[in-house]
C-alpha cells in the first residue's frame, strides 16, 4: 500500500479521465491516491507521498509550461522518490510514435528536464471537435487532414488505448 499523488495538466479534460482510470485501478490495489491539478500543485508537500505521477497533454506542440516549471523547482525531491511521467497527444495514435522512445513530445520533454522518472508512458489522446473554439477546430482539422486523421467537425475520436492505461496503473503499483 502506498500514498500516491497524481498531478495532471489538461486543457479539455482528457488527461484527467486517464488519471481517474489510473486512480481507480490503484485504489483497488489498496493504495491511497490523490489527484490534483498542476494549477494547485505549487503548495503541496511532496514529502507526504510515497510515489508521484505527473500526466500532461500536448497543445500546439507543447506541454504546459507550468509542468516544466514545477518539475524544475521540485527536481531534488522528485529524484528521491519513485515517480512516473506520461504525455497525452494525438501524434501517439501513429504506430511509430506511440512509445516514450519514439514519441517526439516525450523525447523533447526529456531534454527539457533533469528529472529521470522511473517510468514513462505515452497515450494517444482524444479529438472532440465540438468542444473546441472555431480557430482551434479548424487548426486541428487541418492537422488531421495532413496526417490522414478524422476531419468531420461533429466527430468525437477517442484514440486512447484504455488497456494500455490500465497496464500503466499496474506498473505504477509495482514501482
Ligand atoms: C488546440 C489543440 C491543439 C493540439 N495540438 C496538438 C499537437 O500539437 N500535437 C498533438 O499530438 N496533439 C495535439 N492536440 C491533441 C491533444 O493533445 C489531445 O486532444 C489530448 O487528448 C488533449 O488532452 P487534454 O484534454 O487533457 O488537454 C491538440 C488539441 C487541441 C484541442
- Domains of the chain by residue range: 3-125+160-174, 127-158
Q: Is 160 a pocket residue for ligand 1 (Cβ < 6 Å)? A: no
pLDDT at 117 over 90: yes
Residue 126 in contact with ligand 1 by CB distance below 6 A: yes
Q: Which CATH architecture has domain 3-125+160-174?
A: 3-Layer(aba) Sandwich (3.40)
Q: 48-64: per-residue pLDDT in tens?
A: 999 999 999 999 999 99
Indicate the pairing of strand 3-9 with strand 32-37. Answer: parallel
Specify the pairing of strand 62-63 against strand 83-89: unpaired
Atom of ligand 1 nearest to the CA of 58: 17
Residue 108 has pLDDT above 90, yes or no: yes
Q: Whose CA is nearest to atom 1 of ligand 1?
A: 136
Burial (CB count <10 Å: 0-12, 13-18, 19+), residue 95: exposed
* Residue 18 pLDDT level (bands cut at 50, 70, 90): very high
| Ligand 1 pocket member 19 (CB < 6 A) | no
Whether the model clears a pTM of 0.95, i.e. scores above it, the answer is yes
Amino acid at each position: 500500500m502506498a500514498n500516491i499523488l497524481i498531478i495532471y495538466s489538461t486543457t479539455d479534460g482528457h488527461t484527467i479521465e486517464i488519471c481517474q482510470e489510473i486512480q481507480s485501478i490503484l485504489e483497488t490495489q489498496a493504495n491511497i491516491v490523490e489527484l490534483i491539478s498542476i494549477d494547485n500543485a505549487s503548495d503541496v508537500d511532496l514529502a507526504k507521498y510515497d510515489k508521484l505521477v505527473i500526466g500532461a497533454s500536448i497543445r500546439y506542440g507543447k506541454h504546459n509550461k507550468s509542468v516544466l516549471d514545477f518539475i524544475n523547482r521540485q527536481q531534488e525531491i522528485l529524484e528521491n522518490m519513485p515517480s512516473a511521467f506520461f504525455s497525452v497527444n494525438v501524434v501517439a495514435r501513429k504506430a511509430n510514435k506511440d512509445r516514450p522512445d519514439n514519441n517526439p513530445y516525450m523525447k523533447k520533454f526529456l531534454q527539457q528536464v533533469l528529472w529521470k522518472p522511473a517510468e514513462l508512458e505515452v497515450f494517444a489522446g482524444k479529438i472532440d471537435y465540438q468542444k473546441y473554439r472555431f480557430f482551434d477546430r479548424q487548426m486541428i482539422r487541418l492537422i488531421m487532414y495532413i496526417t490522414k486523421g478524422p476531419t468531420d467537425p461533429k466527430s468525437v475520436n477517442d484514440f486512447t488505448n484504455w488497456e494500455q492505461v490500465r497496464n500503466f496503473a499496474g506498473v505504477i503499483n509495482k514501482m
